[in-house]
Amino acid sequence: MAKPTGFLEYERVDASYRPVSERIKDYDEFVVPQTEEAMHVQAARCMDCGVSFCHGGFVVNGLSIGCPLSNLIPEINDLVYRGKYDEAWKRLSKTHPFPEFTSRVCPALCEGSCTLGEHEPAVTVKEIERLLTDRNVLANKVEPRIVTQRTGKKVAVIGSGPSGLACADMLNQLGDTVTVYERNDRPGGLLMYGIPNMKLDKSLVLNRVEILKKEGVTFVLNTQVEDGTLVKILKDNDAIVLCTGATKERMLVVPGSDLEGVLTAMTYLTRSTKSLLDEGSVPIDLEGKHIIVVGGGDTGTDCVGTSIRKGAASVTQLEIMPELPENRAANNPWPLWPRIRKTDYGQKEAIELFGKDPREYEVTVKEIVGEAGKVTGVKTIKVEWTAKGPKEIPGTEELRRADLVITAMGFTGPEDTLISELSLKKDPRGNILTKENRYKSSLSGVFAAGDTRRGPSLVVWALMEGRKAAAEVHAELQR
């Protein structure tokens, strides 16, 4: 595909970021998109590799191989190389409902399985996708696809995160009448309130929702589906799809965790985004304050970057796990997703501002201390990992100053309210139980997709789940 010798002639060039000194003063997106000329060269690196793992879309030993959406990546790259951008967008849209989301927040599973990436830096698939997004979505060239024939079937989608939006989109295009229920004041789920604006501008989410509305999808906001409401919705529809996510956050259970100044990541990020979007909303003031983020994942990084933009005097990110290696370990071969150490935007900002990486590994919190009911510090201790798990190392205790503690320790699964109301069966991890690779729950007419079915995962997996659930729902309703 693309230029046969391109991978021998050109090196990978990543997108640049706006200077730290500039971008920390606002919440605008920090990536500087590459030009069409640059992407023409990068697309030329796509090999005629024969077996393309980049669009594999399956899991081995718990790690992904290729894009879950099975995007036709080599074909898209070839079209971009040839300057056929409109055709490339059409090809991408065959499998991908919302490239504007993943081109900004996806870790690019496709690149982790790129054949060129076995020995050289992978093709810049994510940046090529962003180019196509910017040429179409940002340029307002995406026209609503008006459905001309309806099936007469009604489906309710509960939750408007990535799986809910993808499910609603596909069901609507198949001719079913779709209503999406969302408990928040804006649609998008974690796309709206769980990811900071500098990574995913909220106008992109709202723009896509407006397109879906024009195509026929109805959105009902500020609606908490509980206390019998769900049963009524089920009676009023031919099917419902639960896409409520895995929003139950893993809590930090230590003495002092109930002090004022201890926030979960979702509470913190939601309040921060609302302060940008809602006129009169009071932002969290961190000017000159010392912040400790507990958790080393992507959400923790987002908390670091957000705290820096709020003027924090220092930000420390604590991670109980060991530091990942610089290169693939022996048990993590290509084409599995590479579990290697990466320095993301938040850490890079902290390094430039404070002179050091904010991450500290193999550290756990023992206690949160305070005065007059407010946080003043965190007691930590170092650990070493054994066959039985982390073991505390005596003599490594430390009291750290903190004005705010943000817990970004991941999610444990879906909330129990809807599951209990419908008496749905759960799997051993507390997710809604369905058959393997299927989306129908234990109750007739009720389906589940996304994190509420598979557990905490990535946006791209949620999109895939939403589409496959929609196909299953539609097929059943046509019997």
2: pLDDT strictly greater than 80: no
For 87, other C-beta atoms within 10 Å of its C-beta total 15
The encoded tokens of residue 117 equal 């990436």
pLDDT (mean) for 403-408? 98
| Closest listed residue to residue 244, CA positions, set 377, 418, 103 | 418
Residue intervals in the chain for CATH 1.10.1060.10: 6-136
- The DSSP bridge partners found for residue 440 are 447
User: 67 and 342 in contact (C-beta within 8 Å)?
Assistant: no
Mean pLDDT score of the chain: 96
What per-residue string of b and e applies to 278-289 under the rule 16 or more CB within 10 Å gives b? Answer: eeeeeeeebeeb
Q: Would you place residue 307 in the very low, low, confident or very high pLDDT band (cuts 50, 70, 90)? A: very high
Classify domain 6-136 at the CATH class level: mainly alpha
What's this model's pTM, rounded to 2 decimal places? 0.96
Q: What percent of the chain has pLDDT over 90?
A: 93
Residue intervals in the chain for CATH 3.50.50.60: 154-246+412-477, 251-409
pLDDT of residue 280: 84
Element (H, E) at 342: none
Inter-axis angle of helices 73-81 and 36-43, to 10 degrees?
Answer: 130
Q: What is the pLDDT of residues 146-184, one digit of tens each?
A: 999 999 999 999 999 999 999 999 999 999 999 999 999
1: pLDDT strictly greater than 80: no
pLDDT of residue 192: 98
Q: Would you place residue 439 in the very low, low, confident or very high pLDDT band (cuts 50, 70, 90)? A: very high
Nearest 5°: CA angle at 74, between 136 and 99? 30
* End-to-end Cα separation, the chain, in angstroms: 41
The encoded tokens of residue 431 equal 């997710």
Fold category of 154-246+412-477 in CATH: FAD/NAD(P)-binding domain (3.50.50)
pLDDT of residue 325: 96
The encoded tokens of residue 38 equal 């640059």
Q: What is the pLDDT of residues 50-71, one digit of tens each?
A: 889 999 888 998 889 999 999 9
pLDDT of residue 282: 85
Q: With H, G, I as helix, E, B as strand and everything else as coil, classify residue 205.
A: helix
CATH architecture of 251-409: 3-Layer(bba) Sandwich (3.50)
pLDDT of residue 390: 96
- DSSP string for 221-279: -S----TTHHHHHHHHSSEEEE-----EEPP--STTTTSBTEEEHHHHHHHHHHHHHST
Distance of alpha carbon 50 from alpha carbon 99, whole angstroms: 25
Q: What is the pLDDT of residues 331-382, one digit of tens each?
A: 999 999 999 999 999 999 999 999 999 999 999 999 999 999 999 999 999 9
